[in-house]
Chain A
Amino acid sequence: MDGIMTTTHAVEVRNVFKNYGDVEALHDLSLDFPKGELTSLLGPSGCGKTTLLKIIAGLLPATSGEVFVNGETVTGPGPDRAFVFQDFALLPWASVLRNVAFGLELRNVPKSEREAKAEKYIADVGLKGFEHKYPHQLSGGMRQRVGLARALSVDAQVLLMDEPFSAVDEQTRRKFQEDLLDLVQNENKTFIFVTHSIEEAVYVSDQIALLLPRPSRVSEIIRPGGFRHKDPDSIRRDSEYLDIVDDIWKSLRTYVE
């Protein structure tokens, strides 16, 4: 691995195959994720985007091929990656505080230290005052903020997000997307973001990997660039934004029954 590669790409996926019995879920997939950027995995359902994310997370083994995070081969979950789950994956019996601190608890960080850290991230995601509530007392959007705070608190370089906004309502989703843009700018982290929403992918991504199904492969890599530094409201009216959304829909529509 040469120096340039390791400094520019936080995650590299090389010739990954994944079979479930006879079904080939991923076929010879290679993809680079530039450091400090947000890359979306976009595609119709069944295209293996969540499978790919779980292989990067180390939750699923690849049938063959390799994944590197900062130049090191992935053999399982590691401290360099944190996961944000689609259905939040919060412990229902634990308070917001314990849920956010849970990643640190599993790393054996002392209680006072991890709670101090958790409190900081709870405030960062806008849940100050809810530390001692339980997940069932929160709305869907607030629960996902807890999931996000948990992932941020372990301070991993790579954040893996599996359709994190799909289970929240439309208004909350828009707010989340705007917040995510701030997060990418302010935190020096690499984001890998799975979504099935074309608009969402184009709105938040520095790079979009368009995956096509049966078997899954990367069909196209798109880098929306021109509107990235505009203010959040005008992005959705930007002509480049609209064109990219249109182009992606054209390539995807043949795969939608």
Chain B
Amino acid sequence: MFLRYRPLLLKILSTVLIFGAWEIAGRAGVSFAFPTFLESMAALWGLTVEGTIFTAYAETLKPLAVGIVISAFIGIGLGVWIGLSRKFDWLVSPIFIVMQSAPLAALIPLLIMVYGIGLTSKVFVVCIMAMPVIVLNTAGAVRNTPVHLIEMGQSFLGTRRDIILKIIMPSASPIIFAGLRLGVSAGFIGAILAELKITPTGVGDIITYSRSIADYPNMYAAIFSIIVFAVLFLNFVERIENFLFKGNNKELVSD
């Protein structure tokens, strides 16, 4: 009985510990800019009741959704191509390796100069964050398809198309999905960064505005909500993944 619920109980315990520590630190008065957990939750409740948080997310999710969809399609497409072709690999991979290691914040002024302060720039920021990891993971996964599976496909008369669609893609898809998950979380960072650095809109606006009027509980509520939202969304992506590749996850599947 206890054993069955142990994972769940431990998760609840760890959550309680962290929020407890937050509450204690807030009450102890680490800084006047550090509200307690309960104050922050009350602020979050306030934002929810007013509906502010929903309009904010509608705004924040726009560049995020567009950016992630673009990154996923172009990223997986390019990644598969890189994985299949040596020459294309040499041609294109360096771009993404540089993109992955480039300090994004330094590029933002450049983006604003070229694309202005609208949606386009923000979508770019999300793409720059999300695409490299998706491309590189996909390429690696495609390149590392077990040779014996490809030989099997060839010996049973599979066409090139069959081998790509029925062997390489399913074999690579768990790692492609892992890349997608990393890409989504990087995209979240990008979306918030864009709202803090380009123009304050959506959740970024709540954070910036609350800070400027010293309404710290509201600011923390906004930050907290982003974290919760990101975790829930990534969990959702993982659920889809587990549903799609039942045979591939050998046994241990975390939630």
Contact of B170 among A57, A58, A91 (CB under 8 A): A91
Query: In the complex the two chains form, is A79's CB within 8 Å of B157's CB?
Result: yes
Query: In the complex the two chains form, is A77's CB within 8 Å of B149's CB?
Result: no
Query: In the complex the two chains form, is B157's CB within 8 Å of A89's CB?
Result: no
Contact of B248 among A92, A102, A154 (CB under 8 A): A92
Contact of B155 among A82, A87, A136 (CB under 8 A): A82
Interface residue B175 (Cβ < 8 Å from any Cβ of A): no
Known A82-B156, A107-B157, A154-B156; contact A94-B151, beta-carbon cutoff 8 A:
no
Interface residue A130 (Cβ < 8 Å from any Cβ of B): no
Query: In the complex the two chains form, is B155's CB within 8 Å of A59's CB?
Result: yes
Interface 0/1 of B226-255, CB less than 8 Å to A: 000000000000000000011110110000
- Which residues in B have their C-beta under 8 angstroms from that of A89? 146, 148-149, 151-152
Interface residue B14 (Cβ < 8 Å from any Cβ of A): no
- The number of residue pairs between A and B whose CB atoms lie closer than 8 Å in the complex comes to 66
Interface 0/1 of B156-180, CB less than 8 Å to A: 1111001000110011000000000
Interface residue A191 (Cβ < 8 Å from any Cβ of B): no
Give A95's nearest chain B residue, CB to CB: B247
Contact of B148 among A87, A93, A102, A106 (CB under 8 A): A87
Known A89-B148, A91-B170, A93-B170; contact A77-B247, beta-carbon cutoff 8 A:
no
Give A135's nearest chain B residue, CB to CB: B247
- Size of the chain A interface, CB-CB below 8 angstroms: 30
Query: In the complex the two chains form, is A78's CB within 8 Å of B248's CB?
Result: no
CB distance from A114 to the nearest CB of B (A): 12
Give the CA-CA distance A77 to B248 in the complex, in Å.
Answer: 28
Interface residue A213 (Cβ < 8 Å from any Cβ of B): no
Give the CA-CA distance A103 to B166 in the complex, in Å.
Answer: 12
Interface residue B154 (Cβ < 8 Å from any Cβ of A): yes
Give the CA-CA distance A54 to B247 in the complex, in Å.
Answer: 29
Pick the 9 closest A-B CB pairs, nearest first. Answer: A89-B152, A103-B156, A93-B247, A83-B155, A134-B247, A106-B158, A89-B148, A93-B248, A77-B155
Residues of B participating in the A interface, judged by any CB pair closer than 8 Å: 146, 148-149, 151-159, 162, 166-167, 170-171, 245-248, 250-251
Residues of A participating in the B interface, judged by any CB pair closer than 8 Å: 54, 57-59, 77-79, 81-83, 85-87, 89, 91-95, 102-103, 105-107, 134-136, 150, 154, 160
